[in-house]
Amino acid sequence: MTPLPSLTLIAPILLLAVAALAATRPNSRPGLLPRWAEVAALAALGLAMAGVGQLLIDGAATLSFGSGAGLLAFRLDAVSATMTLLVSFVGWVVVRYARTYLDGEAREGAFHGFLLATLAVVLVLVQAGSLGVLVLAFLAVGLGLRQLLLFYPERAEARRAAAKFSLVWGAGDAALILAAGLFWAAFGTTDLVALGAAAQIGLPLTAKVAVALVVLAAALKTATFPLHGWLTEVMEAPTPVSALLHAGIINAGGFLLIRMAEVVQASPGAMAAMVMLGGFTALFGAAVMLTQSAVKTALAWSTVAQMGFMLLQCGLGLWPLALLHIVAHSLYKAHAFLSSGTAVRAVAAIRRPGPVAAPGLGAVVKAFAVALVLYAAVAGGFGVIAGPKSAQALALGAILIFGVAYLVAQGLADAAPKALTKRTALASLGAAVAYFSFQVIAGTLWGASLPAPPAPDALEWGLIVLAILSFGLVAVAQALFPLWAHHPASAALRVHLANGLYLNAHLDRLIGGFQASRPL
């Protein structure tokens, strides 16, 4: 076994060293510490880039310490190199932003220390090669993020959000610890590569229960329905924390699934559960997002929807696309949160377009037909060029094209100008081409490291049809919304959705309202 080059592992060590300096002055002006923090984050990014180069030169490798249930292994392959580079880049951007954002705060030094320490353990997490490292890293991430969420401990809302986070994240940790024990009992190893190979032979009952616990842990850590409330209430923390959470840490559950893709895909029941839970969470989060007036709250609900959609991708076995989704969502969401302070001015500066054409039922039906025909034509063309696509990939593309069909419906409304009709049709064509192009790119980058989608059985076909119909009906309802927006039932539904169907209120009662301990 070729030992793992040490450069990528130097990054978290470097960040922890600078974080330790912050611990010596938690309540005083930090001096040059913010600049040192930024330099350390930039150095971590450089080391991550060097890791990509080493992977291209030497290939995938694992470095292991210990043996048996106490095995600590670190893995360098296409998945871990991508995530290390992504986390390092987003971390550097957030640390650089925080240097100005937190300037003058009483506990500025402590903030930089907790931020660097949390970033360091996330880097360890994405390089994990064994269940032991995964468990320890997840535990450490929870502790670090809790301290960041409680940066303003005097705020009751911050304490409530931290209490919810600790409850849900801790439950996910417990599920993962139990899963690790069951995998050891079933296969006698906690090495992730060895577990993936063993799963190809089949899963005994113990391992099937372990896979169910892994899916549960991932669902809890990605804020899926119905325990999503903590993610939408972390806005009392500084903006850099929101950016790091929504652009990085929230993806940890998805990374867990992708890292254990071979094992998870060996359980059809687990895959089906992810499709149903992920699809419903995506629809629920998107619907609530559209009712929010606050910028950051809308972004938080957008994250809930995006994580649900990522879980749906994993359930369909589209692992490279799920990883691409994580990369794209992280970059977009980091920018969205860090630029949210200028959102009001940006919206105010937009020239109002005037009345918007409201499509009727005929225009909506025509729009969806046009979008699907264009999608089918593009799919056929890519099938000839790049080979046929799986049923799961075609279904996911159809779901995505439904969103574009909503725009096409605006262009086909009776009052819409011809220029708008042409532009919306081109948007549909462009979206279809982009989807299959990115699918080819994702397959090229990570396809060799991740399993191919399984051949759909009767259950899988049923879930695919259910997903297409569900997303299609919601897209049609959204396109027709102007026709029934003023109905009293619509107003009542909007109020209920704006409050997230009051699920957070029930969770508040379970944890004792605003009661939460203060940080150490």
For residue 519, is pLDDT > 70?
A: no
In the structure, what pLDDT confidence band is assigned to residue 514 with cuts at 50, 70 and 90?
very low
Cα–Cα nearest to 315, from 395, 398, 221, 228: 395
Asked if residue 360 and residue 334 are part of one domain, the reply reads no
pTM of the predicted model as reported, rounded to 2 decimal places: 0.88
In a domain, 252, yes or no: yes
Q: Give me the pLDDT at residue 23, please.
A: 66
Q: Beta strands 72-76 and 61-65: pairing type?
A: antiparallel
In a domain, 109, yes or no: yes
Domain boundary among 484, 500, 515: 484
For residue 517, is pLDDT > 80?
A: no
Domain boundary among 338, 366, 393: 338
Alpha helical stretches, state H, 188-267: 192-199, 205-221, 239-247, 252-259, 261-265
Asked if residue 130 and residue 58 are part of one domain, the reply reads yes
In a domain, 39, yes or no: yes
- Rounded to 5 degrees, φ, ψ at 256 are -55, -45
For residue 405, is pLDDT > 80?
A: no
- The lowest-confidence range among 9-18, 26-35, 223-232 is 26-35
Written as six digits, the tokens of 414 are 């009776």
Alpha carbon of residue 494 to chain centroid: 26
In a domain, 429, yes or no: yes
**pLDDT per position as a tens digit, 37-86:** 889 999 999 999 999 998 888 888 888 887 777 888 899 999 999 999 99
**pLDDT per position as a tens digit, 127-175:** 998 999 999 999 999 999 998 888 888 887 778 888 888 888 999 999 9
Q: Give me the pLDDT at residue 163, please.
A: 83
Domain enclosing residue 453, as ranges:
356-484
What residue type is 282 in one-letter code? A
The residues with which 65 forms a beta bridge, in sequence order, are 72
Asked if residue 237 and residue 370 are part of one domain, the reply reads no
Domain boundary among 304, 338, 372: 338
Cα–Cα nearest to 251, from 87, 16, 442: 87
Asked if residue 406 and residue 306 are part of one domain, the reply reads no
Residues 6+ apart with CB under 8 A from 80: 8, 126, 127, 128
For residue 488, is pLDDT > 80?
A: no
Judge residue 362's burial from the number of C-beta atoms within 10 Å of its C-beta, 0-12 exposed, 13-18 middle, 19 or more buried.
exposed
Higher-confidence residue: 257 or 481?
257
Rounded Cα gap, residues 276 and 272, in angstroms: 6
Asked if residue 368 and residue 331 are part of one domain, the reply reads no
For residue 353, is pLDDT > 70?
A: no
> Domain count of the chain?
2
In a domain, 517, yes or no: no
Written as six digits, the tokens of 113 are 């220390």
Rounded Cα gap, residues 156 and 161, in angstroms: 9
In a domain, 1, yes or no: no
Q: Give me the pLDDT at residue 111, please.
A: 86
In a domain, 411, yes or no: yes
Q: How high does pLDDT run on average in the chain?
A: 82
Can you tell me which residue has the tokens 């203060």? 518
Asked if residue 361 and residue 324 are part of one domain, the reply reads no
- The lowest-confidence range among 242-246, 264-268, 324-328 is 242-246
Asked if residue 294 and residue 220 are part of one domain, the reply reads yes
Q: Give me the pLDDT at residue 205, please.
A: 93
Determine the longest span between alpha carbons in the chain, in angstroms: 70
* Percentage of the chain modeled with pLDDT above 70: 85
Asked if residue 151 and residue 86 are part of one domain, the reply reads yes
Sign for the pseudo-dihedral over CA of 95, 101, 104, 105: negative
Asked if residue 385 and residue 298 are part of one domain, the reply reads no
Asked if residue 294 and residue 388 are part of one domain, the reply reads no
DSSP state of 354: -
Residues 6+ apart with CB under 8 A from 399: 467, 468, 471, 472
Q: Give me the pLDDT at residue 80, please.
A: 92
Asked if residue 255 and residue 383 are part of one domain, the reply reads no
Asked if residue 401 and residue 303 are part of one domain, the reply reads no
Higher-confidence residue: 386 or 134?
134
Written as six digits, the tokens of 302 are 């957008």
- Type and span of the H or E element at 332: helix 319-338
In the structure, what pLDDT confidence band is assigned to residue 460 with cuts at 50, 70 and 90?
confident
In a domain, 513, yes or no: no
In the structure, what pLDDT confidence band is assigned to residue 418 with cuts at 50, 70 and 90?
low
* Percentage of the chain modeled with pLDDT above 90: 31
